[in-house]
């Protein structure tokens, strides 16, 4: 049996389009997106050793289109620093060869 992180990683490797944490929750039947964000942080470190990388399609503000470029972790922001809107389009993730 693969671990949850291995399962998430294989979905991200096979995906044609970036998957959001919510997509992954739906696929794996998980309840909390926060688990997925935490797992992706770990996956990002572990795939490096296999010559691969997690590609992040950054979160953005649904109101003013501000893009959250600098992300220290996979966790989604909750508020736009520019217009204070809480309408945030979630980041998407893929794993690809470097």
| Contacts with Zn ion, residue ranges (CB under 5 A) | 61, 63-64, 66, 80, 82-83, 85
CA distance 80 to 58: 13
What tokens were used for 55? 């590609």
Minimal distance, residue 91 CB to Zn ion, in Å? 15
Nearer to Zn ion, 54 or 91 (CB): 91
The residues that bridge with 67 in the sheet, in sequence order, are 60
Nearer to Zn ion, 19 or 80 (CB): 80
Minimal distance, residue 61 CB to Zn ion, in Å? 3
The residues that bridge with 60 in the sheet, in sequence order, are 67, 89
């Amino acid at each position: 049996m693969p671990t949850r992180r291995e399962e998430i990683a294989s979905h991200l490797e096979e995906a044609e389009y970036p998957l959001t944490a919510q997509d992954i929750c739906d696929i794996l039947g998980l309840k909390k997106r926060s688990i997925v964000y935490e797992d992706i942080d770990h996956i990002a470190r572990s795939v490096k050793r296999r010559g691969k990388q997690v590609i992040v399609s950054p979160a953005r503000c649904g109101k003013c289109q501000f893009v959250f470029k600098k992300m220290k972790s996979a966790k989604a922001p909750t508020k736009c620093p520019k217009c204070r809107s809480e309408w945030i389009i979630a980041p998407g993730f893929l794993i690809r060869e470097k």
